[in-house]
Structure 1
Amino acid sequence: MIRSLIARCLAVTMLWCAGTGVMAQDVGAPIQELLQEHGEIIAKSSRRTIAPAIDALAASGLPEAQVVLDRWQDKAMWRHEESGLFVYAEEIDRDTLRIFDFADGSEIGTVAEDDYKQLKPNSGIRGMIGAALVQFQLTDSDPQERERALDAIERSAEESHLAALRASLGMESEPGILARKARLERLLTIRFDADEAARITAIESFAGDLGVDVRAALNPLVSTRLETAEALPGTPDILRALKPGSEALPRDEAYDLLVEADLAKPRISRADKRAALVENIEGGAVAGIQVATLDSEAARDIAYAALADAGRVRPVATEAEIDAALDAFVFFERYIGAPPPVALAAEAVLTGIENKVALNQAADLGLDALSLASIYFLAAIGLAITFGVMGVINMAHGEFIMMGAYTGYVVQLFVPDYTLSILVALPLAFAVTFLAGVAMERLVIRYLYHRPLETLLATFGISIALQQIAKNIFGTQARPLTSPGWLDGSWIINDIVSISYIRIAIFVLALLFLGLFLFVMNRTRLGLEVRAVTQNPRMAASMGINPDRINMLTFGFGSGIAGIAGVAIGLYAKVTSEMGADYIVQSFMTVVVGGVGNIWGTLLGATMVGGLQKGIEWLNPSNTLAAQTYMILFIILFIQFRPKGIIALKGRAAEA
């Protein structure tokens, strides 16, 4: 009490000398006394010495402490040069400050800036202040402020945060924030709690949890160090004993450990040993041993040892000494990240998590394969009609996909609503590519039926021409085909398994196409006539069906479906004049592998090609080009054993 009274008297005296502008400040306030107690440390603002001042403010329990830390972090805290009292201020101009009292936030007055020194903490000190502010932010009335506090803890957790988190749990009213606090409290318990039982309970509560934060907290606990001794210690922190020369402990690594611990002589490689012997050959001998006798490793070891005894080379271990040293010591791994019970609990939970991670990675790979298969199915379904049903090798099929994508781009230029533009673009792309397909069939294809080589060359030329026309109209730069906002983001199942909404939409669209195709082929007159012409064109013609007209409509229908596929693919991939070339090879592979002319075969072929490509990419993730090459080789081998594909079609397509 006397000490506090003396401090107040001194402060009042200093304020009186400093001027009336500061006299309005409550110099006896507890927060000001605390600042004065650590005044010199705060004024120097050294990261090495500032911690006690920040800790004292954070632990003071004073409501004004948060204001002090906030203003200090924002470089708004100033100190009076003569009195040493702290205020926070705002600059009116280059020479004038408006200062405020930390005790109650009241304005003290307007003063000359020359009388005050601004405290400018560096980034390191601001980080320390931010960590101290967390305990105040955790109980802030603003939910967003509490969220920011949790973000700060997740970025840089400290031991002091654990108690603050636990204290704030009972005061939390938001269910989402409460769940996040509880999870973070368990994670910090694993890292910082001194009670082993509490740590083990927290560890076991995360059994099967796939969160990355859980693995980040548990992995340090199971860290080990390789050690050696003459006998295996009986302490419980020993994980396992290792045998030199095994897969877990190579022989050279084991001996290097002995050398580092000064338990054995250094060794030398055979090449270095040979070089040392060659350098010391004198009169056809090394250390009195004839060179002709140095025809074995044991003989060379004897010669090298003789040189070492003479001081001409450094002493090193022979192979026999290395073996003897390895036999004389045991090697083992010791837990160093946590006490043994905690480490064992973490090891058990991590093992279960790793097994679950493997299953989820397989599920994620399966979703990726299914997504890619749906894209290939969309690209190939039109080709399944033109090539599978009609037997026309259409190398320009990819360009119909490109035309559909550019149709969607043009629609979005005039319809800014992305959802509406896609709804307009889908039927319009079908109409544009349907007409283009009909024109191509009438002008070129109809004259080349049953002439596959000429058809291939003609459609390849049309493909190049269409690409050049697209370049002349739209340029060489990729054009955006923007998806609606509700397709942004991904469906996140957990930290491992997720799939974008665009890929889900493409998968749904592929199913719709499958249903549309089956309906047209099985429930409409056009489908009946197409199947009749496919199976027996002469008999169909005798029944009044015009095969020429059916071929035209069939080719147009297949081209129209390719246009709709182009809109869907354009939402996922880049829209350029060459985009069709990216899918033509996979489309042909899908149709051929599945079975020419069968929609179910096309579906199975797309699934097989997509799954195979994703599987190979998973085995060789650094080289997608190599993955595609391996996939093509596999398809070639597959066709050798099953040339008609997974599902063979009877009729004209099969005969072709």
Structure 2
Amino acid sequence: MLRALLAVLLLIGLHSPAHAQTGDLQTILQEHQAQIVKPSRSKVAPAIEALTASGLPEVPLFLEDWRDKNIWVADDGLFYAISGDTVTDITTRTDVAISKDTLTQIRPNGGVRRVINEALVQFQLSDPDITRRTEAVDAIARNLSPDQIAPLSGAIDNEADPALKLRKQRLLNYLTARYGDSTEARIDAIEALSSDLSVEGRAVLSQILSTRTEIAQTAPDGANIAGQLTPGEDLPRLAAYSQIAQAADLPPVLSDTDIRSALEQHVDGGKVAGVSVGTLSDLDARLTAYDRLSAEGTLPPRATEDMISQTLAGYTIFEIYDEPDAAITDAARTTQKAVNTRVGASQTADLALDAISLASIYFLAAIGLAITFGVMGVINMAHGEFIMMGAYTGFVVQQIIPNYTVSLIVALPLAFAVTFAAGVAMERLVIRHLYSRPLETLLATFGISIAQQQLAKNIFGTQARPLTSPAWLDGNLAFNEVISISYIRIAIFVLALIFLALLLFILKRTRLGLEVRAVTQNPRMAASMGINPDRIKMMTFGLGSGIAGIAGVAIGLYAKVTSEMGADYIVQSFMTVVVGGVGNVWGTLAGATMIGTLQKGIEWLNPSNTLAAQTYMILFIILFIQFRPKGIVALKGRAAGD
């Protein structure tokens, strides 16, 4: 009864007074009994039209039951709905005392069910349930049909959901652009598509501008010609002739292989059509033999070069719009050009956003390495493992604190503390004994990185661990249908800006920063001024490691946390530092921007091969270093000459 009540309320707002009820549901079904009992896609339309035009509140429920194979017919021709073993009257929806065994089930095939679904759309567009309204709109979007214009336009004003209402308006504009009643209405709808960058809107324009190929000696009368194809320019001469030959039933172009195969079947006494087999290695001899056989009627004729030239001179290949109205195709062509321009600009902007986002990730991953490398000259191959340690710290915090926002707030400083302590321990236990010995330092840190990876596998296993972002970081910030960026990427970008400002403050406004810069410029002079270089190097190494830990938390929010995740960033981090300029914050920012932009640009040019993109990027970096070995922003002072 509730379904029947909803259907009554639905149809009150859907049908106009012109859709007067012409009888009860059973009467209409009896009039179209043959089409309903044994339905087919080609014959069921009159029955569907009669049902939808009746205005009866029982129609939507009947159509649903018919589609779902819940309608049965009795020997007297009356129809019933069955759910389980319960037989109900299709008009009153009350149970009736009829045995199911005396009824015959109606089984519409897939094609008929699609027709029924299309009819149900007009009822579902105004259904109280937003899910059903959305499904109806999705059905229209999948198959734009002119008969959906009226129900869709009638379901817009009363739509309560703003997003769904906007989508209905867009679909109505698509339908009007393709199937509007007048040229003026269609042109207005087409021009409105100039602000629509969606795939659906662009598809509508492409469908309006669809063409077919026709071949004729003169231009077809009244045809809306898109252009003509010139042999030798727009398509190869032989391809053009082949199209004409197929349409005009002319001799085909035969390849040399076809000619050889045909001649092999007609060898007689060491000759083919009077031509000695020994001379058939010559092309002219083969053609002579084939043409003689063709003249005798033994082989079908072939297209000669003269025939091809004469045919191409006498025929023209036209591209003709399927849309006959030239005014509409002119409007669609102009709109499509404007849309393509906007799409191109938006794709460029979207690519720039991706590049900035990737640059911020590389900056976070590399800034700690830039500090340690610049101050200490240590090639730390274990830097990526500090990123991994920070990510695992965030994972552990989330296991203890289920609130993702709170856990993120706790994880960032805790990751800094953990990796800071690990960095200090590494510097005190290993690095301090290997200063001025770069090869031994590289080997030692590489061994430490392998040990850290194995330790992480022993503790957390080899399976990737998720670092879940808070709900307020879910989704994307969309500027239009082409330009969008995830909120996680925005958060990482903001975090990179915060660290840039924080590092600049530390290096320029604090005593620690002054001492770090002094040690960077001239360690011996700094020591003579009372600065302890060993302490500064320890603090600097710890600071760089701590920043890597925070970067690990940020990176883990959108990438899986594994024991090998640090290895994915160590190469890019070193390239960022070297390209930007060793020991310089601004240089690291410039290097990250350059590498991020370069990588995204190469991936855009070659999207199917990420490994090739990275290879090209490394080659470019090598060439860049040859011309600017000190990086984009080189150090000044005595350290620049070291």
Q: How far has the Cα of 1:300 moved from its partner?
A: 4.7
Structure 2 residue 348 is the aligned partner of structure 1 residue 354 = no
Q: Which residue is 2:185 aligned to?
A: 198
Match of 1:113 among 78, 100, 103: 100
Contact 1:596 1:653 in 2 (8 A): no
Inter-partner Cα distance in structure 1 for 2:405 and 2:157: 45
Judged with a 3 Å threshold, the aligned counterparts in structure 2 of structure 1 residues 118 and 362 are, in CA distance, closer, same or farther, namely same
Quote the offset at 1:340 in angstroms. 2.9
1:99 to 81, 88, 91: 88
Unaligned runs of 5+ in 1: 1-27
Q: Distance in 2 between matches of 1:31 and 1:143?
A: 27
Deviation string, structure 1 residues 33-67 (Cα, Å, up to 9, x no partner):
11221223222244443222122101122233223
What runs of 5+ residues in structure 2 fail to find an aligned partner? 1-21
CA distance in 2, matches of 1:294, 1:228: 37
Q: Where does residue 613 of structure 1 map in the other structure?
A: 599
Counterpart position of 1:84: 77
Counterparts of residues 453-472 of structure 1 (less than 5 Å): 453-472=439-458
Q: CA deviation at 1:382?
A: 0.6
Question: What is the TM-score normalised by the length of structure 1?
Answer: 0.89
Question: What is the CA–CA distance in structure 2 between the aligned matches of 1:44 and 1:179, rounded to whole Å?
Answer: 40
User: In structure 1, the residue corresponding to 2:194 is in which secondary structure?
Assistant: coil
Percent identical: 61
* One-letter code aligned to 1:211: S
Q: 1:338 to 1:399 in 2, by over 3 A?
A: farther
The DSSP-based 3-state class of the residue aligned with 1:265 is coil
Give the partner amino acid of 2:79. F
Distance 2:458 2:162 in 1: 58
Deviation of 1:466 (Å): 0.9
Q: Residue deviations 1:504-546, cap 9 Å, x none? A: 1111111111111111111111111111111122222222211
Equivalent in 33, 44, 63 of residue 38 of structure 2: 44
3-state SS of paired residue (2:636)? coil
Verify the 8 A CA contact 1:595 1:647 in the aligned structure 2. yes
Aligned AA (2:306): A
Alignment of 1:165-564 (within 5 A): 165-172=152-159, 175-233=162-220, 235-246=222-233, 248-274=234-260, 276=262, 286-289=272-275, 300-564=286-550
- 1:143-189 Cα distance to aligned partner (Å, 9 max, x none): 55433322221223332211212333454455544433222112112
Answering whether residue 127 of structure 2 is matched by residue 134 of structure 1, we say no
SS at match of 1:450: coil
Q: Deviations over 1:351-409 (max 9, x none)?
A: 21111111111111111111111111111011011112221100000111111111111
Q: 2:49 aligns with which of 49, 55, 64?
A: 55
Deviations 1:436-480 (A, max 9, x none): 110111111111111111111111111111111111111111111
**Match for residue 151 of structure 1?**
138
What is the CA-CA distance between 1:114 and the residue it aligns to?
2.7
How many residue pairs match? The answer is 621
Equivalent residue for 1:590? 576
Contact 2:275-2:285 within 8 A present in 1 as well: no
1:627-648 per-position Cα deviation (integer Å, ceiling 9, x unaligned): 1001000100000011011110
Q: Which has the higher mean CA deviation after the structures are superposed, 289-298 or 461-470? A: 289-298
AA aligned opposite 2:235:
L
Q: Structure 1 residue 108: deviation in Å?
A: 5.1
Residues 571 and 171 of structure 1: is their aligned pair in 2 closer, same or farther, counting only changes over 3 Å? closer
Q: What letter is aligned with 1:88?
A: A
Cα separation, 2, equivalents of 1:279 and 1:44:
56
SS of equivalent to 2:193 = coil
Q: Distance in 2 between matches of 1:53 and 1:193?
A: 26
Deviation readout 1:185-238 (Å, 9 max, x if unpaired):
121122333433322221112113201111122212212222222233453511
CA distance in 1, matches of 2:431, 2:391: 24
Flag the 1:128–1:271 CA change in 2: closer, same or farther, 3 A.
closer
Decide whether aligned partners of structure 1 residues 287 and 121 sit closer, same or farther in structure 2, where only a CA change above 3 A counts: closer
Name the SS of the counterpart of 1:261 in structure 2. helix
Distance 1:271 1:121 in 2: 53
Which of 592, 616, 621 is residue 630 of structure 1 equivalent to?
Answer: 616
TM-score (normalised: structure 2): 0.91
8 Å contact kept, 1:597–1:653? no
Structure 2 Cα separation of the partners of residues 175 and 561 of structure 1: 44
Tell me, in whole angstroms, the C-alpha distance in 2 between the residues paired with 1:642 and 1:450. 24
